[in-house]
């Protein structure tokens, strides 16, 4: 299994890797800590190497590759590296994302292009490489990620929501195309998710508005993914599923 976007130990990618390893899967972790180092939340010191050690100590077969997914050659290289390490690849969890805060007045062509390169182009090329290598056996799984832009306005994050909307709209077409090959494609909206970027005041304010009384957690998302990649979910494809404790249904 390949899980992208696992640069920090408290993010969704790390939680997904922990759950998949606990379920007995071999996992290739992808990271790009250079991006996190440039963000307000900063990179996680020692991660993802510490995460790899943690998972191996738990008995998991885990490998790691750092790659800049703005490089158009990186997605295919990531797939090939996974095949060399494990001999097969059945599941791709495309969790990576570039997030940027730009309103209409702040927009730049550079950021728009960069966001599309990482969030959309890299995801499509990753799936292309995966589909080319997949042998058609049952159990092929792809999980994409969107955000909450289709439930409420996010005017200060235009490059991000434009690309996340694209992934949501791509999901049905990719699912129809790949289902005959034994590959399902689904998309997750993880809701407001506590991955360390929000301050305590924001966390408390949102929790008060949430039907579930709290933020989503990476573990909540990992639990859904564990089911979507299981044999039980072989007839579920082309869906966008919100795992947010009712946040998007308010």
* 45 contact partners, CB below 8 Å, separation of at least 6: none
**Catalytic annotation present for 160:** yes
* Residue 185 three-state SS: strand
Instruction: Tell me whether strands 27-31 and 62-66 are parallel, antiparallel or unpaired.
Output: parallel
Which residue among 35, 83, 116, 160 is the active-site one?
160
Can you read off the two tokens belonging to residue 175? 């699912």
Q: Which two tokens stand for residue 7?
A: 């640069």
Identify which of 148, 195, 163 has the alpha carbon closest to the alpha carbon of residue 42: 195
Q: Where are the alpha helices (DSSP H) in the chain?
A: 12-22, 33-37, 49-57, 74-86, 109-115, 122-133, 158-178, 200-209, 218-228
DSSP three-state, residue 96: coil
Inter-axis angle of helices 12-22 and 218-228, nearest 10: 50
Residue where the block lists tokens 């969030």: 119
Q: Among all residues, which ones are annotated catalytic?
A: 160
């Amino acid at each position: 299994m390949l899980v992208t976007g696992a640069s920090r130990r408290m993010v969704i990618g790390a939680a997904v890797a922990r759950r998949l390893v606990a379920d007995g899967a071999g996992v290739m972790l992808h990271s790009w800590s250079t991006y996190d180092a440039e963000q307000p939340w900063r990179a996680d010191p020692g991660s993802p190497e510490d995460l790899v050690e943690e998972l191996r100590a738990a008995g998991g077969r885990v490998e790691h590759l750092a790659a800049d997914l703005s490089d158009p050659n990186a997605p295919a290289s990531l797939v090939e590296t996974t095949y060399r390490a494990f001999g097969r690849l059945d599941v791709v969890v495309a969790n990576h994302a570039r997030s940027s805060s730009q309103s209409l007045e702040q927009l730049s062509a550079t950021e728009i292009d960069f966001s599309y390169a990482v969030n959309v182009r890299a995801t499509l090329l990753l799936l292309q490489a995966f589909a080319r290598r997949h042998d058609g056996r049952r159990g092929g799984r792809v999980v994409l990620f969107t955000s909450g832009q289709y439930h409420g306005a996010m005017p200060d994050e235009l490059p991000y929501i434009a690309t996340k909307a694209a992934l949501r709209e791509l999901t049905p077409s990719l699912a129809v195309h790949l289902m005959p090959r034994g590959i399902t494609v689904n998309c997750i909206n993880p809701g407001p998710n506590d991955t360390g970027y929000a301050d305590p005041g924001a966390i408390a304010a949102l929790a008060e508005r949430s039907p579930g009384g709290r933020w989503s957690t990476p573990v909540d998302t990992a639990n859904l993914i564990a089911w979507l990649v299981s044999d039980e979910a072989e007839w579920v494809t082309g869906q966008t599923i919100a795992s947010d404790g009712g946040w998007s249904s308010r």
